[in-house]
Amino acid sequence: MTDLLLLPGDGIGPEVTAQVRRVASRLANDLKIDERPFGGASFDELGSPLTDETLATAKASKAVLMGAVGGPQWANAPRDKRPEAGLLGLRTGMGVFANLRPAICFGPLAGASTLKREVIEGLDLMIVRELTGGVYFGKPRGIEDLPGGGRRGVDTQVYTTFEIERIARVAFELARGRKNKVHSAEKSNVMETGLLWRQVVTDLHARDYADVELEHILADNAAMQLVKNPKQFDVMVTDNLFGDILSDEAAQLTGSLGMLPSAALGEPGTPGLYEPIHGSAPDIAGKGIANPLAAILSFEMALRWSLDRADLADKLYAAVGKALEKGARTPDLGGGLTTIQMADAVLAEI
Ligand code: NAD
Ligand code: IPM
Ligand code: MN
C-alpha cells in the first residue's frame, strides 16, 4: 500500500514536491512513496488531468500530496480537461470536504509580511473551508448564446443542511482543542445559501457546541477584519469560494503565499489530500526560486493527520522554525535562497 502519493502537477508544483521527497526520505525513509502525473502534465501525457488510475491510486493511499496545477498553456482547453478540473475531481472523488488552512506567522517572519509586525506577530488562525460543494460544483452552470446576441454565463451556489452541518462540526471540534472560538463567515444578508448557513450553524451550536464561543460575521467584513486585526480569530469556517479568497488573504499575513499548507479531510479512515494553497506560479516557474515551505508544511500536516506520525510532524515543524530563525529566506520572504537551498536549510535542522 502506498503511504504517500505525490502528485507534482504543473509549474512550481514539481519543484516544491521534489523537496518534500527529500525531506520525507530523511525524516521517514520507511514511507512508501509513489508518484503520478497530474493536472496539465497528466493532460499532456495521458489525455486527462485526472485519470481513473490516478484517482484509484489516490483513494488506495494513506495520504496524497499535490503540488500545484494550472498554467497559461492550458487556458484554452475545454473546461473538463483543464488542470483545475482535475483538482476539483480529485477533491470530490476522494470526498475530502473539510479543508484546513492554518495561517501561522512563524516568529522570525513577523517582519517579512507587508503588514505591521504588531498586527501579525503570534498569529495562529485556522480557516476551515468547505471544499466539495457550493458554487464550484452547483448546477446549472455554463455559458450560452442569447437569441438577441450576446451571451449569458451561469454559476449556481448551492448548499444543503447536511453539507453545512458537517463542515461546521469540524470547525467546532477543532476550536475545542484551540482557543475555543469559531467565526462563521457568509453573506446571509444577500444570499439564500448564506441565510441557511447561518441558521444551520446556529442550530448546531445550540444543540451540540454551546461551550464554544460562536460569532457570525459577514464575509466582506471578515476580509477587512483579517487585515485590521487578524489575531481576534481562532477558527473561521466558511464556504468553498469565500474560503478560497480569505485563505489567500490570510497567507499574506504569514509573510507569503508560499508559506501556507493545507489538509483536506473526509470521513474518518479515508485518505487526506495535502496541498500548499498556492498555485503553479507561472511567473517564477522554472527559475528554482519557489518557496517550498508550504509544500513541506503540507507534508507535516500529512504526517499528523493521515500517517499517524505526530512525533515526526513535531520534529519537522521545529526544523522549519529553526531554519527561519537562522535567516533562511526565499525571495518571496525577502531573501536570496533557491528552492533547494531552502529545503537544505530545513534538512540541516532535522
Ligand atoms: P499563484 O498562487 O500561482 O501565484 C500568485 C503569486 O504568488 C505569484 O506572484 C507567484 O509567484 C507567488 N507564489 C505562489 N506560490 C509561491 C511560492 N511557493 N513561492 C514564491 N512565490 C509564490 O496564483 P495565480 O498566479 O493566480 O495562478 C496561477 C495558476 O495556478 C492558475 O492556473 C491557477 O488556476 C492555478 N492555481 C492552482 C492552485 C492549486 O493547484 N492548488 C491554487 C491556486 C491557483
Ligand atoms: C486553491 C486553488 C483552487 C481552488 C483552484 C486551482 C481549483 O485556488 O486550492 O486554493 O479554487 O480551490
Ligand atoms: Mn486558491
For residue range 74-83, what is the model confidence (pLDDT) as tens digits?
Answer: 999 999 999 9
What is the predicted pLDDT for the residue at 129?
98
Domain 1-97+266-350 has CATH 1.10.3720.10: no
Q: Where in the chain is the domain with CATH 3.40.718.10?
A: 1-97+266-350, 103-260
| Amino acid identity, position 61 | S
Average pLDDT over residues 133-137: 98
The SS3 of residue 207 is helix
Whether residue 290 has its Cβ less than 6 Å from ligand 1: yes
Omega into 108 within 30° of 0, i.e. cis? Answer: no
> pLDDT class for 113, splitting at 50, 70, 90?
confident
CATH code at 103-260: 3.40.718.10
What is the predicted pLDDT for the residue at 112?
86
What is the predicted pLDDT for the residue at 194?
98
Cα–Cα dist 149/350, whole Å: 63
pLDDT digits (tens, 9 = 90+) for 221-232: 999 999 999 999
Q: What spacing in Å lies between the alpha carbon of 11 and ligand 1's midpoint?
A: 9
In the predicted structure, residue 254 carries a pLDDT above the cut 90: yes
pLDDT digits (tens, 9 = 90+) for 10-25: 999 999 999 999 999 9
From the CB of residue 150, how many other CB atoms can be counted at a distance below 10 Å? 7
Would you state the cell numbers that stand for residue 151, as one nine-digit string? 451571451
Which residues have a Cβ under 8 Å from the Cβ of 325 and sit 6 or more positions away? 107, 108
Which residues have a Cβ under 8 Å from the Cβ of 101 and sit 6 or more positions away? 126, 127, 128, 129, 243, 247, 250, 260, 261, 262, 277
Angle at 14 between CA 9 and CA 18, to 5 degrees: 135
Which ligand is the nearest neighbour of the Cα of 245? 3
pLDDT digits (tens, 9 = 90+) for 42-59: 999 999 999 999 999 999
Closest residue by Cα to atom 6, ligand 2, is 84
To test the pocket of ligand 1, the residue of 274, 280, 291, 333 to mutate (highest count of ligand atoms within 8 Å of its CB) is 280
Whether residue 291 has its Cβ less than 6 Å from ligand 1: yes
Cα–Cα dist 101/130, whole Å: 11
Atom of ligand 1 nearest to the CA of 70: 32
Cα–Cα dist 192/270, whole Å: 32
Q: What is the mean pLDDT of the chain?
A: 97
pTM above 0.95, yes or no: yes
